[in-house]
Structure 1
Amino acid sequence: MVAGEGQEEERISVEIPPEAHGERIDRVLASLLPELSRERIKRLIAEGRVRAGGIPVDAPRRPARAGERVELLVPRDPPLALVPEVRPLSVLYEDAYLAVVEKPRGVPVHPSPGHETGTLAHALLARFPELSRAGGDLRPGIVHRLDKDTTGLLVVAKSDAVHHRLARLFAARSVFRGYVAVVHGRPVPPRGTIVAPIGRDPRERKRMAVVAGGREAITHYRTLVACPSVSLVVLRLETGRTHQIRVHMRHVGHPVVGDPVYGYRRERPGAPLLLHAFGLRFVHPVTGEPVRAYAPPPEDFRAAFFRLCSPEEGTTARAPEDSLAPPAPPVQEVWLRVEKRLRRLVFGEGEGDSDSLRPGRAGD
């Protein structure tokens, strides 16, 4: 692959591999060039910016031919500039070195094509202008990320030195990252560890999947509440791959409710993704003191759980450790017990510390 020297557009050249012979050329190019979506490639073809053997490609459905060289002229996107935006920002912890903030639903963590404004990064820069730039100018202070529709906690660094120290903590798997999700069905066994490598889905390059040769990915889970059609599970990440929880739960047959990418097609249109990062716990990289932060799931998460796991739906919701105790308590009472359990996982009060999410491995 080579790129041209022009300032206005980038020239990209690829060779069609033998195994792609006869497939639609737009599909082949999308798999070879994951940075370009299939829709973007279709637009480039319509604009006459894609040539095969020096001849313009006339249609996205044109069959690719093994060994032919295809050139694409891709207009360069204008450079993004991050301008601080004063927006509501929930800060759960802050000192001179770092902060822990809560990301709301529907807000991207940092700018990207199609999301040039209104991101968490814009709000962070307005609140903390001194943030680290170790991750790049468009990702001020950002050490780790959450998906746009995932809610919950993130830690941000105020200097490059702290950024690098936090990154080392994450790499060493020394940060407790707790999530809670509503998933379809009832996981069997009810607690376990999913060990399955994650990489690009070979059939759809914009998605991730469990694939041979992917990067190591480990997710610990435990069922807290079981209802007839859904379960409330608590999860802990040992690694941090893109879409890890969503891919792993789909892999074991229990996708997250409301997931438009990895979920079931019968999902309600506009239903929220029921995945929330409720807890962070780590040793402060400068002071050595423990840092703990907890954020309960947002109201739309709770409302969806009540609807899916209510007596009106014919459920028999069970609180943690109460699966054999009839009659089933009201779902609101169950939820109070769930929140107590989540807080224990963060603050380590008696049972329910992080070791309770380190079971024997299952679900490879």
Structure 2
Amino acid sequence: VEISQPKVRLDKFLQKKFSDISRGTFQRLIQDGNVLVDGKTTKTTHHPKACEEIMITWPNPQPSEVLSENIPLEVLFEDEYLLVINKPPGIVVHPAAGHTHGTLVNALLHHCAGELSGVGGVARPGIIHRLDKDTSGCLVVAKHDSAHLGLSAQFAKREITKIYQALVCGQPQKEQITVKAPIGRHPVHRKKMAIVENGRSAHTDFLTLEILNESALVEAKLHTGRTHQIRVHLQHLGYPLIGDKVYGGRPARVFSQTTGYNATRQMLHASELGFTHPHSGETILAKAPLPADLIDAMNYLKIR
């Protein structure tokens, strides 16, 4: 623990240090005696002090068999090290509680005949990054551990090009908008993200591509990769995603009442993904065409 460490609960302290692991996970680790402070078990409410030594024991995950399933995949690029797929909307990336079958991992195990990177563990073979269940588009998957580590490093260094297309409620007044607003857990609704003062830095550039009826097609370029970043920043601007049941709020209700259009999912698509091939050094830029439901929505909302 650093000398300048401000007073904060142990579970919050650890979650800030390991931002990709939930606070609930650390609470369970502490309660199960897997977190020691100066060699002793403690409580989640303990406030770490300067020069204390914190030791975490990570329990071995219980291996669970993930079955391969013959689910069709649209492959945008593939070689012996990795592949980029166009994820359809409505499919979960990896197995979790309530989603043990029909996931992208089940499909990948069949497509790659089990030859996937093991860095992510048995439940997430090959998975380097994720898209929400209802978000479609480009997703890169590693077949080899070396490719996984190389691509993960590029994500961490923000060297990956990530461009999305989104249908939003309302018509942005400016063609180009940049949002730099920190994102963290919502202070009340912990399953949601929000713009919070002490959140992690988040930067998104928006470009309006087409004005539609009470809506617009917008391009979003991510410079950081925070959870729900595009959705939260669009909510902040007052132009939430069409079909976003979590962040849509009043603008989404007004949009539906005015246009009569009700989306079955959030209208967000990862249209481009660019990176340096971790083995060849080649620049790869994968582009995923807009899915049918997003095209149908645009046709419905065209100004005539």
What is aligned with 1:309?
302
Counterparts of 1:136-155 in structure 2, within 5 Å, are: 136-155=121-140
1:123 Cα deviation from its structure 2 partner: 0.6
Q: TM-score, normalised by structure 2?
A: 0.75
What is aligned with 1:295?
288
Q: Is the 8 A contact 1:80 1:116 kept in 2?
A: no
- The DSSP-based 3-state class of the residue aligned with 1:206 is coil
Q: What CA distance in whole angstroms lies between the structure 2 residues aligned with 1:300 and 1:227?
A: 16
State whether structure 2 residue 222 is matched by structure 1 residue 229: no
2:280 is aligned with what amino acid?
A: T
1:304 Cα deviation from its structure 2 partner: 0.6
- What is the aligned counterpart of 2:111 among 127, 135, 138? 127
1:116 is aligned with what amino acid?
A: T
- What is the aligned counterpart of 1:279 among 272, 277, 280? 272
Q: How far does the alpha carbon of each residue in 1:208-259 deviate from its partner, in whole angstroms, 9 at most, with x for none?
A: 1111111111111100112341011011111111111111100111100011
Structure 2: state its 5+ residue gaps: 1-8, 10-21, 26-44, 46-61
Counterparts of 1:64-75 in structure 2, within 5 Å, are: none
What is aligned with 2:54?
none
What is aligned with 2:193?
208
Displacement over 4 Å in runs of 4+: 32-35, 267-270
Q: Is the 8 A contact 1:272 1:301 kept in 2?
A: no
Between the aligned residues of both structures, percent identity stands at 47
- The DSSP-based 3-state class of the residue aligned with 2:110 is helix
Which structure is larger by alpha-carbon Rg, 1 or 2? 1
Q: Is the 8 A contact 1:272 1:300 kept in 2?
A: no
- What is the number of equivalent residue pairs in this alignment? 243
- The DSSP-based 3-state class of the residue aligned with 2:190 is strand
- The DSSP-based 3-state class of the residue aligned with 1:301 is helix
- What is the aligned counterpart of 1:101 among 68, 71, 85? 85
1:173 Cα deviation from its structure 2 partner: 1.5
Q: What CA distance in whole angstroms lies between the structure 1 residues aligned with 2:232 and 2:65?
A: 32
- The DSSP-based 3-state class of the residue aligned with 1:246 is helix
1:33 Cα deviation from its structure 2 partner: 6.9
Q: What CA distance in whole angstroms lies between the structure 1 residues aligned with 2:64 and 2:178?
A: 40
Structure 1: state its 5+ residue gaps: 1-13, 15-31, 36-66, 68-77, 312-364
Q: Is the 8 A contact 1:182 1:256 kept in 2?
A: yes
| Pair 287,232 (structure 1): closer, same or farther in 2 beyond 3 Å | same
Q: What CA distance in whole angstroms lies between the structure 2 residues aligned with 1:200 and 1:227?
A: 32
Q: What CA distance in whole angstroms lies between the structure 2 residues aligned with 1:80 and 1:230?
A: 45
Q: What CA distance in whole angstroms lies between the structure 1 residues aligned with 2:79 and 2:134?
A: 28
- The DSSP-based 3-state class of the residue aligned with 1:105 is coil
- The DSSP-based 3-state class of the residue aligned with 1:204 is coil
Q: What CA distance in whole angstroms lies between the structure 2 residues aligned with 1:308 and 1:260?
A: 19
2:144 is aligned with what amino acid?
A: S
1:270 Cα deviation from its structure 2 partner: 5.3
Q: How far does the alpha carbon of each residue in 1:169-228 deviate from its partner, in whole angstroms, 9 at most, with x for none?
A: 111211111100011112243212111111111110111111111111111110011234
What is aligned with 1:46?
none
Q: What CA distance in whole angstroms lies between the structure 2 residues aligned with 1:261 and 1:231?
A: 19
1:272 Cα deviation from its structure 2 partner: 2.7
